[in-house]
Amino acid sequence: MKHLFKKEFQIILGLIIFAAALRIPTLGSPLIEDEAISFNRYIDVPWQKLIFFYQDTNQHTLFLLISKFFIWVFGETEIIYRLPSFLFGVLSIPLMYRLGLVMKFSRSAAVLAALLMTLSWPHLKYSMEARGYGITIFLVLLVIFSAIQLLNNSRWVWGGVLIGSGFAITMALPSNLFFLGSLTIFTIMGGWFESEKNRLNFKRLFWIAIPQLIMFALIAVYFLVIYEQLKYGKDIQPQSLDGKKIFEITELLVAPWGFFMYLFFTIGAWRLKEVRERIIFGSVFLIPMILTVITGVVGYARIYIYWLPFIFLLSAYGMTEVIVWLKNKTGKLVYGLGVGVIFFLVFLPAKKINEYFESRNNGSLVVAGPNVTMSEAAKMAVWVNENISKNNLIVISVGGPESSVLNKYMNKKVLERMTYFSRGGILEKIIFIAHQDMPPDEYPFIPMVQERILRLPSSLVNKIHSIGNLGVYELNLKVEKLIPPTFDPDYEGKIGNSNISKVNIRQVETPRVLGKKALHIENNSGNSMDIISPVVKGVDITEDHAYLLYVFITDFQPFKNVSVHLAEKGNWPPSLGYLNPLLGIFTVKGEDTVWNIFYSLSPLSKGRHFFQERIGIQKGNNYYDGLQSYLLTQ
């Protein structure tokens, strides 16, 4: 017994060390895309609001609650923010091994399954990213482990673990509810087939069902509280289950080895001997599929990460069965083949892991360029606040529009200045905060159309300060009002009316942001469209390297793709870049409407220009306010 315990301890410790060693490098690298978006949006949200309000699919509530606690204890750094994913990711490896043993797989198959998951690309990735997927994998294993133990001995301690882990998994990702459906089928059918004399034992099933009834009651209450937000999230990001989606899911689950892994998965499924194990795997894979088809609720490929452990359990079992069969056929020759297989299983992950570490360090994983650390962002926020005049517009051009860590530390100050200028404040300069490896002249600003991206000449930007990887760049252009020539808070009402069928254009007192009225365009045509002002303004541009800075305020709607700009017939759509496109969101006291301030920059050629306001509208109600423009020249 003592020898067995020592052996188990050594295996578990070895798995933990191996898993941790592969996940520690780059754990402190700058945040990437979605994890940065979650950090910016939710890390400062009070825990009560995180629990009782579900904003969107980027809110991985359980992860955020644990991460907030760690940050409160240890301080705010990338490592601490990612620590929940790292810890649960590492601990899921020995739990995978223990689940394999509880499911009556051989020790070699259980160890191999744990090693495969250690080297698995999605498991490695989500153990290092500040998201809820690493926690999901751990809780999936814990739910099944506790359910099997409950079937084995009906001890209430396992019932309590089942209740807690089952409820927690829906707080990690609400879509995990589909996985819990398979748990119910497994326990009922498992209890049925293992009852005395192969007939239904109501007392036994009752005791098994109680923890699940409590668990689902808690989940039902939680989902009722956040139901409207859940429904809203589903509606704004619809997905469809087609061949492409199925390919994405199946490809992700066996990365980096590829589809050949499903050969061993199939062999493992075919060779299952125990009725209980067949029920487990059948339920785990079939029930979520059925619920997905019935409800039509489809997520991104990563949502189905709960299948990952079971893919590798069956694949590992299939591999060991093949090895046993080959050993019986070829004798010791199988060991040579085994060395080749091990090399192949390790080589692909090693190559992928090395590339992943490099890309995390150099920022190439971010489409809009490298991000910066929390420390650099916090220091830059303090410096800008102390050294940049309030008459300078601050533009964050680091990472993506929502994924720059600077947003979290500077969004309030940036919004204050965007609001100040939109209300008639004097604008003197434009200041860019950019990564020094991607200064403003190289940054891919969000365009109006993808084919016409704004490119600033390097001669127009001058670096005036730096902190770590961050640089402060001044745009060397003078700023003056263009149209209207002086600030007019109700200018949008003077652009002229266009007679368009089923489109009603009028001014309203509410909702509004500036002046006495805002522009309300009611579009009942059933189509999105552009409205062009009948009033033409002639402007002479006397210098080369001139730019048009346009400002407008509109009601905020997720994925609203409309614009207002001074348009020219021969130059539409313009080469244009939006500045701080998602940092201008605000509300007016006493109103429910959410507004967004847009700033856009586009080049102007020397010569005579004839402008007309061009307003993009969606179906239904559209509100616009604060239309104004500036001319930027050398």
**DSSP character for 107?**
H
Same domain, 173 and 122: yes
**Full domain range(s) for residue 462:** 374-481
Which residues are paired to 465 by β-bridges? 472
Same domain, 511 and 446: no
Of 229-233, 301-305, 540-544, the poorest mean pLDDT is in 229-233
**DSSP character for 446?**
B
Please give the residue that has the higher pLDDT: either 448 or 115.
115
Interval 147-181: pLDDT, tens: 999 888 767 889 899 999 999 999 999 989 999 98
Please give the residue that has the higher pLDDT: either 200 or 268.
268
Same domain, 335 and 438: no
Per the structure, how many domains does the chain have? 3
Interval 309-348: pLDDT, tens: 999 999 999 999 988 888 787 766 666 666 777 777 888 8
Nearest to 455 by CA among 566, 545, 364, 580: 545
Assess if residue 431 is contained within a domain. Answer: yes
- What pLDDT is stored for residue 204 in this prediction? 67
Assess if residue 447 is contained within a domain. Answer: yes
- Whole-angstrom distance, CA of residue 60 vs CA of residue 85: 11
- What pLDDT is stored for residue 191 in this prediction? 63
Same domain, 416 and 326: no
Nearest to 372 by CA among 363, 384, 364, 382: 363
Same domain, 508 and 626: yes
Same domain, 330 and 387: no
- Whole-angstrom distance, CA of residue 74 vs CA of residue 62: 18
Same domain, 465 and 571: no
How many CA atoms within 13 Å lie on the side-chain side of 342? 10
Q: What is the mean pLDDT of the chain?
A: 88
Task: Cis check for the bond before 511: say yes or no (omega within 30 of 0).
Answer: yes
- Whole-angstrom distance, CA of residue 248 vs CA of residue 209: 35
Strands 461-467 and 470-475: antiparallel
Number of other CB atoms surrounding residue 304 within 10 Å: 24
Residue 588 belongs to a domain with what CATH number?
2.60.120
- Please give the structure tokens belonging to residue 467: 């902190």
Mean pLDDT of 301-314: 94
Same domain, 344 and 399: no
List, in sequence order, every beta strand (DSSP E) within 436-526: 461-467, 470-475, 478-481, 503-508, 518-523
- Residue that finishes a domain, picked among 432, 462, 481: 481
Interval 413-456: pLDDT, tens: 999 999 999 999 999 999 999 999 999 999 999 888 888 889 99
Same domain, 23 and 108: yes
Same domain, 253 and 276: yes
The model's confidence at residue 197, banded by pLDDT at 50, 70 and 90, is: very low
Please say if the pLDDT value at position 275 is more than 80.
no
Cβ pair 84, 27 in contact under 8 A? no
The model's confidence at residue 203, banded by pLDDT at 50, 70 and 90, is: low
Same domain, 423 and 524: no
Same domain, 169 and 256: yes
